[in-house]
Copies of this chain bind each other. A is one copy, B any other.
């Protein structure tokens, strides 16, 4: 019995285009060659190439303009592929907090985190505590847990702190694109540490978000607990 793995042409083309984007051949904001040129290059019909471009457009890697061309989407905090942490201020203006790492360590996975990351109980994880600030005010305090097994020895050695833009980091270092997540949401009263970090009163309720992020194979990539000062900032999400 032979198992034949059938991969449609357009998916092969799609993957190759994506690889070339990540390799830097077409940097963000640059325009791709037009459909006919690319189709000829790959030796496929325009329709097949188009189907590849359409999927990449649906996944927000590309942006197409009729009459103009197809450009590579920006990958940054602004127009993130995965719009996590949509935080707004009181004037309904989106804010882009900066990150301050308080703690960075390698530990055995805490018991209550095991289920979220779906890993063995004796595995190790990278653990970081960070605060995120905007205009010198603290917006949120968060703890991040990432399975150590994703990191190569070399990366671990060279990395002194966790990079700020984690989802971009996972993509470039692990090749894992976070494209979905589940969140458990709670309103909680602040603990002592929260009061200090967020500079709030003990009666200020906090929005607690427990987020598990998954890559396209539904492998958990990270677990994150955020406590947000929702009296000053709005946490917005899109569901679809």
- Chain A interface (Cβ within 8 Å of chain B)? 82, 84, 88, 179-189, 203, 205-208, 228, 230-231, 234-240
Residues of B near A88 (CB, < 8 A) are 184
Whether B230 contacts A179 by the Cβ 8 Å rule is no
Distance to closest chain B CB from A77 (angstroms): 17
Whether B239 contacts A183 by the Cβ 8 Å rule is yes
Residues of B near A230 (CB, < 8 A) are 185-188
Whether A236 contacts B187 in the complex (CB less than 8 A), given A205-B205, A207-B207, comes out as no
Whether A207 contacts B186 by the Cβ 8 Å rule is yes
Copies in the complex: 2
Residues of B near A231 (CB, < 8 A) are 186-187
State A157–B64 Cα separation when bound (angstroms).
Answer: 48
Whether B189 contacts A203 by the Cβ 8 Å rule is yes
Whether B237 contacts A185 by the Cβ 8 Å rule is yes
Distance to closest chain B CB from A222 (angstroms): 14
Closest to A185 in B: B235
State A231–B179 Cα separation when bound (angstroms).
Answer: 29
Residues of B near A237 (CB, < 8 A) are 182-183, 185, 237, 239
Whether A185 contacts B182 by the Cβ 8 Å rule is no
Residues of B near A186 (CB, < 8 A) are 187, 207, 230-231, 234-235
State A126–B182 Cα separation when bound (angstroms).
Answer: 32
Distance to closest chain B CB from A221 (angstroms): 13
Residue picked from A185, A189, A206, A231, most chain B C-beta under 10 Å? A185
Residues of B near A82 (CB, < 8 A) are 239
Distance to closest chain B CB from A232 (angstroms): 11
Residues of B near A182 (CB, < 8 A) are 236-239
Residue picked from A84, A186, A235, most chain B C-beta under 10 Å? A186
